[in-house]
Structure 1
Amino acid sequence: MMQNEPKNIIVIGAGFAGLSAAAYLAKAGHSVSVIEKNAEIGGRARQIRTDKGYTFDMGPSWYWMPDVFERFFADFGYKASDFYTLTKLDPQYAIVFGKEDIMNIPSDMTGIARLFEGLEKGAADALKSFMSEAAYKYKVGIEKLVYKPGLSLLEFADIDLIRGAFRLQAFTSLSKHVQKNFKHPQLRALMEFPALFLGAIAQDTPALYSLMNYAGLALGTWYPQGGFGQVTAAMKTVAENAGAKFITNESVTGFEINNKRVSKVITNRGSYEAEGVIGAADYHHIDQQLIDAKFRNYDQAYWNKRTMAPSALIFYIGVKRKVQRLIHHNLFFDEAIETHADEIYKNPQWPSKPLFYVCCPSKTDSTVAPAGHENVFILMPLATGIKDSEALREIYFDTIMTRLETYCGEDIRSAIDYRKSYCIADFVADYNSFGGNAYGLANTLRQTAVLKPSIKNKHLQNIFFAGHLTVPGPGVPPAIISGNVAANQLLNYLKN
């Protein structure tokens, strides 16, 4: 076979990682087919469209790190604006500490500095120093770290990384780093909150990830008009324009192996010749359910020892009038974060006094709800692998709605004309999600870079993994990067 002859490549899963990998592999001239078990592409970023006129983003709702999206589109000669319109949110979000104790985060650093100084004398200068370090970490992180496959420590034998190792603070916790700079509890809560996007508490998250403070505060919080479905649709178009094909409503059930290579991908409908595979569905599911035991990367005991990012209880709610007090992003920190975190990570159970997040995109986007109505998305972080039932969902719906109505000062429940819940059992059913996780693997120190599940299968030469259970980690931008990194690893294999 000629070296430059197109190879048949199968990508399993059409979430952000699979879409990204498919686009890069198709651009390289290969024959790429993406197999997706659900009816729609997008993975966790699928949308619900109701007959009442609501469009709900099912998962991701924060558009951070816009440069990562732009880099993806630029690699194919596009800009994000060729496909969708971004709106910069101002305020970026609100943190609710109490009914009359709300912190609105401005969209510019001048306003943020003023907010800090108003709460703690000298905090504006501390913020300037903190953000300067965070900007350095972001630059090094994005340029030097996150696009590495994490297969060897030698990848990090880079003179800039070695020189900057102390400044990167990979071995100090984010919590200690924040507390060294800020004393006011609300400022600490604000600066530690991005750790939730990394699937861990700030005490267990390396201070390297203060780069997320730079991403969130300095680069801004954006919203793609029409919701995240516009982003996945755009990436699908990019992949299709490069030649990729998409097959939906089809589940991969196994592989045919020859000479330590996957030769066929078996599905519930048939089989596909394969000279390369990207596993962009749930890594644990592929490793433990689809690959024969002798070819697996890990055993179940390994997976059981992983620290998982949380699952979530989500409610999609249509309200037939406006809810005045909500803005686009609202974080309810009116209970102790330590208690809720303990009930996620240390003593897994349904939370006694949960924190939760409310997204109301209809404040920014008139297309996601009928005129005069509100689109409300509520998410409560939850431990993975615990019991899920309709009765429990109902209990927490009432708990959350009582607190939300008290905060808003109005009856919301009587105006609900659409409601759907989504929780652990749904993550398992729809995504074969390990433990019903919503975000993947926590970015703890012991699960960073080479310590994450390997992007490469150790026994089969032509299968590589992408997504939030491998490098670089949880979140939408990391998933897009993961697809790129896995695609490059497969392309390197195919050249040899």
Structure 2
Amino acid sequence: MKKSVIIIGAGFSSLAASCYLAQAGYNVTVLEKNKTVGGRARQLLKDGFTFDIGPTWYWMPDVFERFFADFNKKPSDYYTLEKLNPAYSVYFDKDEQITIEDSLDKICKTFEDVEKGSSIKLKKFIDKARTNYDIAIKDLVYKPGVSPLELMSTATIMRVNQFFSNIKRDVRKSFKNIRLAQILEFPVLFLGAKPSNTPSFYNFMNYADFGLGTFHPKKGMYQVILAMETLAKELGVNIKTEASVKEIEVKSGKAKGVVSNNHFLGADIILSGADYWHTETLIEKKYRQYSESYWSKKTFAPAALLFYIGFDKKLKNVNHHTLFFDVDFDEHAFDIYDNPKWPDNPLFYASFPSITDKSSAPEGKEAGIFLIPLAPGLNDTPELRQLYFDKVIKRFEHLTSQKVTDNILFKESFCINDFIKDYNSYKGNAYGMANTLTQTAFLRPKLKSSKVNNLYFTGQLTVPGPGVPPSLISGKLVSELIIKHH
């Protein structure tokens, strides 16, 4: 008889795991607390506008291809990808903007225009990043984080020094222009830590950025979720929404099932793609692997204040992805990681999907998503949200030389309280746990519970780490572990 698996949550990692487990012959049920699948990658539809609530960057397309190939499918069977050109632009001041185009040769020319001789250094830097990318994808990120020995290969041993230096040190050694340095430090923010706390090895993110490029799935990132949902259902997965899990029942050290919507549902195996910390609150204290003090000492990726805005006109002087680095980068990072508080002068990011994708907004209008990174656990009030909205819109108008305040049809916000309410997120973090040296690979929370038989975890707080491609990989890793043990 087929073994049954209950998966808590329907984000990227849960849906990926559900597909692998169903393919392997398990009877899989996914329980999602919200009205739609997607976890942090849900969608907001309003007045003819479409917004991705969560991730908006499609990087590392090879990881998506590898996922679908495991089921003899291709991404193009489900959605259409467009490579963005430009990939993104960065405002450093009203009159200082650097645009990153869609090929390394073009980017090298941009670098050379800003700092003479930097294109040669950039090519060397990206060559090293490409090698690290190959090692990461082949040797490291598809390992389950069970043992330090997973890190031991000829390739990684040769690069051991790269785990003890950091991205900021390496970048600043080669690039004297602070603007170029900040652009090279930007991709590691996706890993959830400061460049000065991120091991040099993670420069493979620069290859993802400059080497592979930035893509957009037509109709938004949510199309990837819909593709995975379709695939899961084709494989026989049963998905239930508005099915919040209040308890994981454990008897004699063994997970027996869950309580959802006041009903007990039994299963041979329980897999949680919900927030790891929250999942452990669903079991008795004696069965928890990690204490509250363990979590409180960890470096979490930032939380975020997000705004979803409908504009009644097309905007100018912006690209699909636009970064605003016109304030002190280090000061904002300090306010996130070292002395957590609402930043006086925040960096922010804006996405305008309707520049690329007509389906995102009605004719002649623009969909805008604004994101301010924040420290997790801050006080979150409507007044603070409004204060920061006013701050970034004022700067946005100044930097892009246009008035937009009177052209706002509506705005919706999403912040720490919403991350907690909708995702049971620890302190309202947006991206999981940062990939610092002491939070890498086998040093992250484990995929398999050491105290409860048949209880497993997947997602951004375990291996390999934060981000959409790592979440897909996490789903694969945990399903392989389950198949191996059951």
User: Which range, TM-score by smaller chain?
Assistant: over 0.9
1:164 Cα deviation from its structure 2 partner: 4.4
- Does structure 2 retain, via aligned residues, the 8 Å contact 1:97–1:333? yes
Deviation for aligned residue 1:157: 3.1
**What's the counterpart of residue 45 of structure 2?**
49
Structure 1 residue 10, shift from structure 2 partner: 0.6
Distance in 2, Cα, partners of 1:422 & 1:256: 32
Q: Which residue of 2 aligns with 1:95?
A: 90
In structure 2, distance between residues paired with 1:492 and 1:186: 48
Q: Deviation of residue 359 (structure 1)? A: 0.2
Aligned equivalent of 2:14: 18
Structure 2 contact 336–374 (Cα < 8 Å) conserved? yes
Instruction: Say whether the 8 Å CA contact 2:126–2:207 is kept in structure 1.
Output: yes
3-state DSSP of counterpart to 1:81 = helix
Aligned AA (2:474): S
Residue 311 (structure 1) aligned with residue 303 (structure 2):
yes
- Structure 1 match to 2:387: 395
CA contact (8 A) 1:93 1:331 kept: yes
State how far apart, in whole Å, the 2-side matches of 1:109 and 1:333 are. Answer: 22
The range that moved more, 356-365 or 263-272, is 263-272
Residue 260 of structure 1, CA deviation: 2.1
Q: Read off the aligned partner of 1:85 and give its amino acid letter.
A: T
One-letter amino acid of the structure 2 residue matched with residue 368 of structure 1: S
Counterpart of 2:243, as a letter, is E
Match of 2:164 in 1: 171
- 1:62-461 equivalence runs, <5 A: 62-166=57-161, 169-287=162-280, 289-461=281-453
1:215-234 per-position Cα deviation (integer Å, ceiling 9, x unaligned) = 01110000001001100000
Displacement after TM superposition at 1:161 (Å)? 2.9
Aligned-partner residue type, residue 327 of structure 1 = N
> Which of 477, 481, 485 lines up with 2:469 in the alignment?
477
User: Whole-Å Cα distance in 1 between the matches of residues 193 and 434 of structure 2?
Assistant: 5
Instruction: Render the CA deviation track for 1:413-443: whole Å, top value 9, x for unaligned.
Output: 1111121010000000000000000011011
Correspondence 1:60 to 2:55: yes
User: Shift of residue 244 of structure 1?
Assistant: 0.7
Deviation at 1:165, TM superposition (A): 3.4
Question: Partners in 1 of 2:267 and 2:5 — Cα distance?
Answer: 5
Q: CA RMSD in A?
A: 1.0
How far does the alpha carbon of each residue in 1:179-200 deviate from its partner, in whole angstroms, 9 at most, with x for none? Answer: 1221111110010011211111
Instruction: Work out the CA distance in 1 between the residues paired with 2:254 and 2:152.
Output: 31
**Structure 1 residue 464: Cα displacement:** 1.2
Report deviation, 1:268.
2.2
Q: CA deviation at 1:60?
A: 0.2
Paired with 1:453 and 1:257, the residues of 2 have a C-alpha distance of 20
- Opposite residue 327 of structure 2, the aligned amino acid is E
| Offset at residue 163 of structure 1 (A) | 4.0
SS of the residue 2:383 aligns to: helix
Structure 1 residue 8 corresponds to structure 2 residue 1:
no
AA partner of residue 20 (structure 2): Y
Distance in 2 (CA, whole Å) between partners of 1:379 and 1:228 is 16
Letter in 2 for 1:49: L
Structure 2 letter corresponding to 1:266: V
Equivalent residues of 2:250, 2:283 under 8 A apart:
no
**Equivalent residue of 2:250, what SS?**
strand
Equivalent pairs: percent with the same residue?
A: 46
For the 8 Å contact 1:323–1:408, the answer to whether it is kept is no
Query: Which residue type is aligned with residue 235 of structure 2?
Result: A
Q: How many Å apart are 1:240 and its aligned residue?
A: 1.0
The residue type paired with residue 36 of structure 1 is: E
CA distance in 2, matches of 1:80, 1:39: 25
Q: What amino acid does structure 2 have at the position aligned with 1:455?
A: L
Amino acid at match of 1:130: F
Distance 1:413 1:54 in 2: 18
Distance 1:160 1:337 in 2: 33
Asked if structure 2 preserves the Cα contact closer than 8 Å seen for 1:463 and 1:490, the reply is no
Distance 2:200 2:415 in 1: 31
Q: Cα offset for 1:156?
A: 2.5
CA separation in 2, counterparts of 1:480 and 1:153? 22
Quote how far apart the aligned CAs of 1:480 are: 0.7
* Greater displacement, 400-409 / 31-40: 400-409
For the residues of structure 1 that align with 2:152 and 2:192, how far apart are their CA atoms?
27
- For 1:324 and 1:120, the matched residues in 2 are separated by 27
2:25 maps to 1:29: yes
Cα distance in 2 for partners of 1:172, 1:18 equals 34
One-letter amino acid matched to 1:222: F
- TM-score when normalising by structure 2: 0.99
Residue 235 of structure 1 aligns to a residue whose secondary structure is helix
Q: Which residue of 2 aligns with 1:492?
A: 484
Q: List gaps (5 residues or longer) in structure 1.
A: none
CA shift at 1:390, angstroms? 0.1
1:318 & 1:407 partners in 2: Cα distance?
20
Counterpart of 1:19, as a letter, is: L
User: Secondary structure of the residue that 2:6 maps to in structure 1?
Assistant: strand
Contact 1:250 1:269 in 2 (8 A): no
| 1:124-160 deviation digits (Å, cap 9, x = unpaired) | 1111111111001000001110011111112233344
